[in-house]
């Protein structure tokens, strides 16, 4: 056995295979409604064995036919396919269909004692249903299909009348009850498949409208943000600092839209994570320091205490931009179990916390003092040449 892995074959755009494919009745090689061929394709087995199983089940008082009808009603047929089976195979398949129907009729007669004359109207009902359901699969928009549906409905009505007239009882109440029950069954047999198909069609239309709206929203956002920024960059190509500022701002805006847009509503703009990202953006624009904030946990409303923590983070980032000698800084924030933890880290010059030069007390006053006055804690870890980490903890 070869151990060589199967090479990856990329799927064309819009044709990715879903992880759990939805069952659909197949158009390829179908004889009646494509149930057997659809099951064979879905289960990856031979269609011969599927049809053989359905025929065997049909001999059990028509259970196979009933199962076939239920699958036909409540599933959709695939939109594209190569068509029906070839003529030679189609004759063989129709012989198998007739065998299943005949076996089902014989088993019903043996198990219930019905006479052949009683089964004839039932057969007419089956023909009417076959005509109507096949027309449903082709669509009810065309005139010929509507005519076929009307003809099938008339056949079913005539067959129901014949069944009631031939019912072996003189009790008027029983005959009326039988007539009502058969009429309701006939209406359900005609109406339920139509309702299922209309519901599926409505769902497809809604999905298409949602996809079109999403595409339009993406197009408008790209036009209003990315394309406009690219136009500005083209005009200011001789100013590298301005180009870098525009690119950083657009990167931040695009990142927030792609990954955080679900939480950016008018009701959630005054939250901890939103304020933190805004502070990072301000430092990024002013000092040309690239900052990638990462937030984890459930966002909370911004309070005076958490506002102090955010302002301390901003000051820590300003210190990184002024003294660390690096172009990037990392910010990680999490809210877990009612506690806010924020970490600001750079891999820059670092310093000795015990030997801070005069005039460089931003961390002690604007970071540590601000957080502690609000009831939080600050831990500063720094080594010369290794960078600095500021950890802020605050109850939310």
Residues 193 and 319 in one domain: no
Instruction: Find where tokens 């189609």 sit.
Output: 90
When computed from its CA atoms, the radius of gyration of the chain, rounded to whole angstroms, is: 36
Enter the tokens of residue 16.
């990715």
CA–CA distances in Å: residue 270 to residues 222, 304, 370: 26, 12, 20
Instruction: Find where tokens 């088993």 sit.
Output: 107
Which one of 97-106, 182-191, 374-383 scores highest in mean pLDDT?
374-383
Residues 120 and 196 in one domain: yes
Residues 313 and 165 in one domain: no
pLDDT band for 77, please (50, 70, 90 cuts). confident
What pLDDT score does 316 carry? 92
Does residue 27 lie within any of the structural domains?
no
Does residue 158 lie within any of the structural domains?
yes
Q: Are strands 290-297 and 339-346 parallel, antiparallel or unpaired?
A: unpaired
Instruction: Find where tokens 């007539």 sit.
Output: 179
- CATH code of residue 368: 3.30.565.10
Residues 176 and 303 in one domain: no
Does residue 288 lie within any of the structural domains?
yes
Name beta bridge partners: 290. 328
Residues 96 and 176 in one domain: yes
Phi, psi of 13 (to 5 degrees): -60, 135
pLDDT band for 219, please (50, 70, 90 cuts). confident
Report which of 159, 138, 135 is spatially closest to residue 149, judged by C-alpha positions. Answer: 135
pTM of the entire predicted model: 0.47
Enter the tokens of residue 350.
């670092």
Q: Which of 188, 208, 228 is at the close of a domain?
A: 208
Does residue 249 lie within any of the structural domains?
no
Residues 191 and 339 in one domain: no
CA 331/CA 293 separation, integer angstroms: 5
Residues 278 and 191 in one domain: no
Q: Are strands 328-336 and 290-297 parallel, antiparallel or unpaired?
A: parallel
What pLDDT score does 71 carry? 83
Under a CB-based contact definition with an 8 Å cutoff, are residues 300 and 275 in contact?
no
What pLDDT score does 295 carry? 93
Report which of 97, 70, 78, 105 is spatially closest to residue 189, judged by C-alpha positions. Answer: 70
Q: Residue 44: how many CB atoms within 10 A of its CB?
A: 6
Instruction: Determine the Cα angle at 343 with ends 338 and 345, to 5°.
Output: 175
Task: Decide which of 2 and 312 is more confident.
Answer: 312
Q: Is the pLDDT of residue 7 over 60?
A: no
Enter the tokens of residue 354.
């015990």
Residues 274 and 193 in one domain: no
Instruction: Indicate left, alpha or beta for 112 from its phi (over 0: left) and psi (-120 to 50: alpha).
Output: alpha
What pLDDT score does 170 carry? 56
What pLDDT score does 329 carry? 94
What pLDDT score does 294 carry? 92
Kindly provide the b/e burial profile for residues 325-337, where b requires at least 16 CB atoms within 10 angstroms of the residue's own CB: eeeebbbebebee
Look at the chain and count its residues.
396
CA 387/CA 326 separation, integer angstroms: 10
Average pLDDT (360-383) is: 85
Total of domains in the chain = 2
Does residue 7 lie within any of the structural domains?
no
CA 241/CA 263 separation, integer angstroms: 32
Domain extent for 320: 265-395
Name beta bridge partners: 391. 343, 379
Residues 204 and 270 in one domain: no
pLDDT band for 375, please (50, 70, 90 cuts). very high
Report which of 294, 280, 296 is spatially closest to residue 248, judged by C-alpha positions. Answer: 280
Does residue 148 lie within any of the structural domains?
yes
Mean per-residue pLDDT over the chain, rounded: 76
Does residue 326 lie within any of the structural domains?
yes
What pLDDT score does 75 carry? 80
Residues 201 and 74 in one domain: yes
Report which of 281, 263, 381, 268 is spatially closest to residue 331, judged by C-alpha positions. Answer: 281
Average pLDDT (183-190) is: 72
Task: Decide which of 177 and 307 is more confident.
Answer: 307
Under a CB-based contact definition with an 8 Å cutoff, are residues 376 and 396 in contact?
no
Q: Is the pLDDT of residue 41 over 70?
A: yes
Q: What is the DSSP track for 274-297?
A: HHHHHHHHHHHHHH--EEEEEEEE
pLDDT band for 109, please (50, 70, 90 cuts). low
Q: Is the pLDDT of residue 266 over 70?
A: no
Helix axes 63-74, 116-138, angle to 10 degrees: 20
Q: Is the pLDDT of residue 263 over 60?
A: no
- DSSP alpha helices (H): ranges in the chain? 35-43, 47-58, 63-74, 87-112, 116-138, 143-165, 172-222, 228-235, 240-260, 272-287, 304-319, 362, 370-373
Residues 299 and 386 in one domain: yes
Contacts of 296 (CB under 8 A, 6+ apart): 332, 333, 334, 335, 336
Does residue 23 lie within any of the structural domains?
no
pLDDT band for 14, please (50, 70, 90 cuts). very low
Residues 92 and 203 in one domain: yes
Name beta bridge partners: 378. 392
């Amino acid at each position: 056995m070869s151990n060589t892995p199967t090479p990856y074959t990329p799927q064309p755009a819009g044709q990715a295979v879903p992880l759990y494919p939805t069952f659909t009745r197949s158009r390829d090689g179908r004889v009646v409604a494509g149930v057997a061929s659809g099951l064979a394709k879905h289960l990856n087995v031979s269609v011969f064995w599927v049809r053989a199983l359905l025929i065997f089940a049909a001999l059990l008082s028509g259970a196979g036919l009933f199962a076939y009808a239920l699958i036909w009603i409540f599933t959709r047929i695939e939109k594209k396919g190569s068509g029906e089976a070839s003529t030679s195979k189609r004759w063989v398949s129709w012989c198998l269909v007739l065998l299943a129907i005949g076996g089902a009729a014989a088993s019903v007669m043996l198990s219930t004692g019905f006479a052949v004359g009683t089964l004839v109207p039932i057969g007419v009902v089956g023909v009417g249903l076959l005509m109507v359901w096949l027309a449903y699969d082709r669509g009810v928009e065309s005139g010929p299909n509507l005519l076929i549906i009307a003809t099938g409905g008339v056949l079913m009505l005539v067959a129901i009348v014949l069944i009631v007239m031939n019912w072996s009882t003189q009790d008027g109440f029983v005959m009326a009850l039988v007539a009502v029950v058969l009429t309701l069954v006939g209406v359900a047999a005609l109406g339920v498949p139509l309702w299922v198909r209309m519901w599926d069609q409505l769902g497809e239309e809604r999905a298409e409208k949602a996809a079109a709206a999403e595409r339009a929203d993406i197009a408008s956002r790209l036009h209003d943000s990315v394309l406009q920024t690219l136009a500005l960059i083209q005009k200011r190509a001789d100013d590298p600092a301005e180009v870098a500022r525009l690119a950083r701002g657009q990167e931040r805006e695009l990142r927030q839209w792609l990954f955080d847009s679900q939480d950016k509503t008018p009701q959630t703009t005054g939250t901890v994570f939103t304020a933190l990202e805004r502070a990072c953006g301000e430092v990024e624009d002013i000092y040309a320091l690239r900052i990638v904030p990462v937030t984890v946990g459930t966002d909370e409303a911004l309070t005076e205490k958490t506002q102090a923590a955010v302002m301390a983070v901003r000051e820590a980032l300003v210190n990184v931009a002024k003294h660390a000698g690096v172009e990037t800084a990392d910010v990680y924030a999490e809210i877990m179990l009612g506690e806010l933890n924020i970490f600001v880290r750079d891999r820059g010059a670092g310093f000795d916390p015990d030997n801070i030069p005069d005039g460089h007390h931003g961390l002690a006053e604007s970071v540590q003092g601000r957080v502690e006055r609000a009831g939080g804690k600050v831990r500063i870890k720094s080594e010369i040449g290794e960078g600095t980490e500021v950890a802020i903890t605050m109850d939310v």
